[in-house]
A and B are shown apart, each in its own frame.
Chain A
Amino acid sequence: MIYSDIALNAVVLAVVLDLFLLKSQMMTRGIFWLTYFLILPFQLLTNWWLTSNAIVMYSDSEIIGQRLAGAPIEDLLFGFSMILLTLSVWEFFKKRND
């Protein structure tokens, strides 16, 4: 499994956790998408810094090769999975805390 496969699996895992297991269902809420699309440009900015300066480098055989702001397109999947999972888990614990 290369980065592309794992990144795709991470999105599937995050979506399944959010909708069915943790039942936070962040994906059905506008505030989640607002948060995501506000963070996205900052992800692209930091990706650009890390890759254009060759601070982080990727093996060609691990990515499909399409790049955005210097970083492999797979990074979008990784970023989305982490933002969704973070907010979904946060809401899950918050519900039990209240």
Chain B
Amino acid sequence: MAIDYAQIEGIARGLDVENLRYSYVLIFVAICAIGVNYGFRLRFSKKLKLFLFTDLLILVIYLIWDFWAVSKGSWYFDSNQILGIKLLGKLPIEEVLFFIIVPLMTVLTYLALIKLTSTVKLTTLVKRVGSDNPKKEPHDLL
């Protein structure tokens, strides 16, 4: 896809802080994603390829839907509150980023909950075994 530098330059010159109001949503979710990834030590960078395959399918389905809906006017955007860079001249770049960052956060939430619930189960098990068999050595329990 050809990049319209004149368009980008024009956008950069006329950009106001108000143009970031849609982007705030993306920044908010991105901060949550980074926090969850490091907070739960999920090592998401090791699963990047898996995510790219997954998100490619999501992008295809939802961008076609979005593009079609915007074309027929189902929904529309306030040009003062978006950056103004548009895919195929129609779809705000924020929408494209939304379909990357939200599935990313979805997977991270899922992975964090798997880790959290398995840790909780393990802790409960250890506590229960510990209280039921106070005098037994760990190898007796295996």
Interface on A for B, CB 8 Å cutoff?
2-3, 6, 10, 31-32, 34-35, 38-39, 42, 46, 49-50, 53-59, 62, 82-83, 85-87, 89-90, 93-94, 97
- Report how far A83 CA is from B109 CA in the complex, Å: 11
Is B58 at the interface (CB under 8 A from chain A)? Answer: yes
Interface of B is mostly: helix
The answer for the CA separation of A89 and B25 in the assembled complex, in Å, is 25
Instruction: Please give me the residue from chain B that is nearest to A55 by CB atom.
Output: B81
**Counting CB contacts under 8 A, is B91 at the interface?**
no
Size of the chain B interface, CB-CB below 8 angstroms: 36
Within B91-142, the residues touching A (CB, 8 Å) are 102-103, 105-107, 109-110, 113-114, 117
Cβ-closest chain A residue relative to B104: A86
B-side residues, CB < 8 A to A, are 21-22, 24-25, 28-29, 32, 50-51, 53-55, 57-58, 61-62, 65, 69, 73-78, 81-82, 102-103, 105-107, 109-110, 113-114, 117
- Known pairs A31-B117, A42-B32, A62-B69 / 11 extra A-B pairs, C-beta < 8 Å: A6-B65, A32-B110, A38-B109, A55-B21, A55-B82, A56-B22, A56-B78, A58-B75, A62-B73, A93-B54, A97-B50
